[in-house]
Amino acid sequence: MGHSATAWDQNSVLEVVKDWNGIDQVVLRVPRGASAQVSLHGGQVVSWKNERVKNSCSLAARHELWSIEMIFIDSFVQAMFKPPKAMRGGIPICFPQFGNCGSLEQHGFARNKMWSIDYDPPPLRNDDDKEKVSVDLLLKPSEDDLKCWPHCYEFRLRVSLATNGVLTMISRVRNINGKPFSFSFAYHTYLSVSDIRQSLPTHKRFTEQGDAVTFESEEMTLHIRNLIHVLATLVDRIYLGSPNVIAVLDHEKKRTFLIKKKGLPDVVVWNPWEKKSKSITDLGDEYKQMVCVDGAVVERPITLKPGEEWTGRLDISAIPSTHFI
Ligand X SMILES: O=P(O)(O)OC[C@H]1O[C@H](O)[C@H](O)[C@@H](O)[C@@H]1O
272 backbone dihedrals φ, ψ, rounded to 5°: -65, -25
Q: How far is the CB of 103 from ligand X (least distance, A)?
A: 16
Q: How far is the CB of 290 from ligand X (least distance, A)?
A: 11
Residue 99 binds ligand X (CB under 6 A):
yes
CB-nearer residue toward ligand X: 99 or 301: 99
Q: How far is the CB of 86 from ligand X (least distance, A)?
A: 7
d(CA 222, CA 268): 12
State which H helix or E strand residue 78 sits in. Answer: helix 75-80
- Residue pair 282/77 in contact (Cβ under 8 Å)? The answer is yes
Q: Tell me which of 11, 21, 67, 106 binds ligand X, using CB under 6 A.
A: 106
Length, in residues, of the chain? 325
Q: How far is the CB of 99 from ligand X (least distance, A)?
A: 5
Site string for ligand X, 16-55 (x = CB under 6 A): ----------------------------------------
Of the candidates 213, 212, 217, 267, the one whose C-alpha atom is nearest the C-alpha of residue 238 is: 267
Q: How far is the CB of 137 from ligand X (least distance, A)?
A: 20
DSSP state of 91: B
Residue 236 binds ligand X (CB under 6 A):
yes
Q: Which stretch binds ligand X (CB under 6 A): 14-22, 28-36, 99-107, 221-229?
A: 99-107
Give the residue ranges of the annotated binding site for substrate: 88, 106, 111
Residue 268 binds ligand X (CB under 6 A):
yes
d(CA 301, CA 96): 9
Residue 270 binds ligand X (CB under 6 A):
yes
d(CA 197, CA 193): 11
DSSP 146-202: HHHS---EEEEEEEEEETT--EEEEEEEEE-SSS-EEEEEEE--EEE-S-TTTTGGG
Residue 107 binds ligand X (CB under 6 A):
yes
Of the candidates 296, 215, 219, 309, the one whose C-alpha atom is nearest the C-alpha of residue 262 is: 296
CB-nearer residue toward ligand X: 17 or 101: 101
Give the residue ranges of the annotated binding site: 88, 106, 111
Q: How far is the CB of 318 from ligand X (least distance, A)?
A: 21
d(CA 61, CA 65): 6
- Residue pair 185/302 in contact (Cβ under 8 Å)? The answer is yes
Site string for ligand X, 283-312 (x = CB under 6 A): ---------x--------------------
Q: Rounded to whole angstroms, what are the CA distances from 268 to 6, 20, 222, 237? A: 34, 30, 12, 6
d(CA 225, CA 324): 11
CB-nearer residue toward ligand X: 106 or 233: 106
CB-nearer residue toward ligand X: 34 or 290: 290
Q: How far is the CB of 88 from ligand X (least distance, A)?
A: 6
CB-nearer residue toward ligand X: 132 or 261: 261
Size of the site for ligand X (CB under 6 A): 7
CB-nearer residue toward ligand X: 33 or 272: 272
CB-nearer residue toward ligand X: 173 or 292: 292
Q: How far is the CB of 323 from ligand X (least distance, A)?
A: 31
d(CA 239, CA 220): 10
Interface contacts to ligand X, rule CB under 6 A: 99, 106-107, 236, 268, 270, 292
